[in-house]
Amino acid sequence: MDDATGQPTTTDAQYMARALDLASQAAARGEVPVGAVLVDRSSGRILAEAGNETEAAADPTAHAEMLAIRRAAAASGRPRLPGTTLYVTLEPCTQCAGAISFARIDRLVFAAVDPKGGAVVSGVRFFEQPTCHHRPVVERFDDAGRAAELLRGFFRPRRRRAGGDDPPPDDARPGARPAARSVTTSQLALPAEASAADPSSA
């Protein structure tokens, strides 16, 4: 988010840092390292947060975004969450993009791109479809290096055990500022160097 002078505030970086901590905790539990933080835009208060729990819950829908949305909705007693921003370390999948739309979340900020499983700037580009009735403002977090490295570190030994290649290069860009930039989904390109490490099972 930019201030009146057009300079990035530290707020986005702080919330994304928390999401990254949650992703690290998920990796320590043996989960695909994805973290999400849902924030009330007017107060800056964190309404809910989560890391992936698909293994622990034996639930294929227990992605970080889904859990954060469910917890915030349950706490508020209502199924819609307008006036909120969702920070997530990885581009949401189709399931999570649908939940973001249904929850009427105002703004989505994500770090690493997921060419195989993502649905915001990859794959179906859910928010651009005519059947999508609510489209959040979508912003790409400029410094996605840590998010991509967490994914690389998670998948690299698994690929080696399976006899596969190392994951592709991470999303780090030297000198990138840890801030979010506002763009439409159609403006978000998918350069090869901006891809995360095969998080298709996230």
Is the separation of the CB atoms in 117 and 167 below 8 Å? no
Is the separation of the CB atoms in 64 and 37 below 8 Å? no
3-state SS assignment for residue 34: coil
Number of Cβ within 10 Å of residue 167's Cβ equals 21
Nearest to 38 by CA among 95, 76, 93: 76
Residue 99 DSSP symbol: H
- The first and second tokens of residue 159, run together, are 């690929």
Query: Given 31, 53, 65, 91, which residue is catalytic?
Result: 65
Nearest to 192 by CA among 160, 163, 169, 165: 169
β-pairing, 180-183 with 107-112? unpaired
Q: Mark whether 65 is an active-site residue.
A: yes
β-pairing, 84-90 with 107-112? parallel
Encoded amino acid at 6, one letter: G
Query: How many whole angstroms separate alpha carbon 20 and alpha carbon 156?
Result: 19
Write out the catalytic residue numbers: 65
